[in-house]
């Protein structure tokens, strides 16, 4: 008998304006399962996570989180299901103006009407889980990178989530600290019976924690299954990722361009190719060349004029000297 599905994504399509970022994504996360979502820059994995955790309403398809379809749910339903999940953001998203204790207490105070002594006790328990009992009085800028991740994890665990989402949890960490965080995530999953959805591109973390893997490429699902099944895929992007080999030049250029577009940092030039010189408006380049040519001519004219004046002055001095003698 299959275990309960905590997350079901079916035919998910996401768009930014007229551009499709995700195209027909399907995946299922079951109770107690660790699902890793991976892909290169611009593959759509960050957009997928935003749709799953309710930051963006899906354009098409189904996102059923803990039995609630986020696309059709009303606001009270969405709020209720958000209280049953935890999110560990890539940068931690801790508030620098609050102590670690108050950061962890924030979701408890927002969601639960509890006496302050009970809130403090819950915070102490969460900090103990991540070995930060000694750091509750500190502010985020006073923490190391690894401590910030653990403090953010304590806050994500504050409401005992049924499913925990982690966005690049190992980003910015050294290998030893990253491995320790992986071990902590697995121990918490086992202790509380929650599911994990982890967006990462760290091979060591994928090997250590993944039960199932979903790999995206250019907004489409290109591999899905156990880690062994995904590794056995014949897709060029999958082979390139796991063998640490670069994609072909044209494919790599397209991937970089799509990553820049997703971040709003690039716009098509000419026929849409990066560095396109065959089309588009060349007038800017022509104007620049014309300006440089004029500048060179002006500089040459000034140099000749200066030399002429110098020669005349020297001739005048010589003439005056001859007259005086």
Q: What are phi and psi of 55, to 5 degrees?
A: -75, -25
In a domain, 247, yes or no: yes
CATH at residue 10: 3.40.50.300
Q: What is the pLDDT of residue 256?
A: 46
pLDDT digits (tens, 9 = 90+) for 59-75: 889 999 999 998 888 89
In a domain, 187, yes or no: no
Q: What is the pLDDT of residue 283?
A: 46
In a domain, 213, yes or no: yes
Nearest Cα neighbor of 156 from 94, 63, 199, 64 is 94
In this structure, what is the dihedral angle of CA atoms 41, 43, 44, 46, given to the nearest 10 degrees? -30
Angle (CA) 160-161-164 rounded to 5° is: 130
In a domain, 9, yes or no: yes
Task: Indicate the number of domains in the chain.
Answer: 1
Q: Which residues contact 53 (CB under 8 A, 6 or more apart)?
A: 65, 82, 85, 87, 165
In a domain, 129, yes or no: no
Q: What is the pLDDT of residue 248?
A: 55
Which residues of the chain fall below pLDDT 50?
A: 1, 249-251, 253-257, 259-261, 263, 265-285, 320, 322-325
In a domain, 285, yes or no: no
Q: What is the pLDDT of residue 52?
A: 93
Domain of residue 25 covers 1-84+197-264
In a domain, 294, yes or no: no
In a domain, 141, yes or no: no
Joined tokens for residue 39: 């892909």
């Amino acid at each position: 008998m299959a275990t309960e599905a905590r997350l079901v994504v079916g035919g998910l399509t996401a768009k930014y304006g007229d551009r499709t970022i995700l195209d027909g994504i399907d995946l299922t996360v079951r109770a107690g399962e660790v699902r890793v979502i991976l892909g290169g820059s611009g593959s759509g994995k960050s957009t997928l996570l935003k749709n799953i955790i309710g930051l963006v309403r899906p354009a098409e398809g189904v996102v059923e989180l803990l039995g609630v379809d986020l696309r059709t749910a009303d606001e009270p339903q969405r709020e209720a299901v958000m209280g049953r999940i935890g999110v560990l953001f890539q940068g931690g998203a801790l508030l620098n103006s609050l102590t670690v204790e108050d950061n962890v207490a924030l979701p408890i105070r927002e969601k639960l009407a509890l006496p302050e002594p009970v809130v403090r006790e819950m915070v102490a328990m969460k900090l103990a889980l991540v070995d930060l009992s000694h750091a509750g009085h500190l502010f985020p800028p006073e923490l190391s990178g690894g401590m910030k991740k653990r403090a953010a994890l304590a806050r994500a665990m504050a409401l005992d989530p049924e499913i925990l989402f982690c966005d690049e949890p190992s980003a910015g960490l050294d290998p030893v600290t990253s491995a320790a965080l992986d071990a902590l995530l697995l121990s918490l999953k086992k202790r509380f019976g929650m599911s994990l959805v982890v967006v990462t591109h760290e091979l060591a973390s994928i090997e250590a924690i993944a039960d199932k893997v979903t790999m995206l490429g250019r907004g489409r699902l290109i591999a899905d299954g156990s880690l062994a099944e995904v590794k056995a895929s014949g897709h060029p992007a999958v082979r390139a990722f796991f063998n640490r080999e670069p994609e072909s030049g044209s494919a790599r250029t397209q991937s970089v361009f799509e990553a820049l577009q997703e971040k709003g940092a690039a716009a098509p030039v000419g026929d849409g190719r990066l560095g396109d010189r065959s089309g588009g408006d060349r007038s800017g380049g022509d104007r620049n060349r014309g300006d440089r040519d004029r500048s060179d001519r002006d500089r040459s004219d000034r140099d000749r004029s200066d030399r002429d004046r110098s020669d005349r002055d020297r001739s005048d001095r010589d003439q005056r000297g001859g007259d005086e003698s």
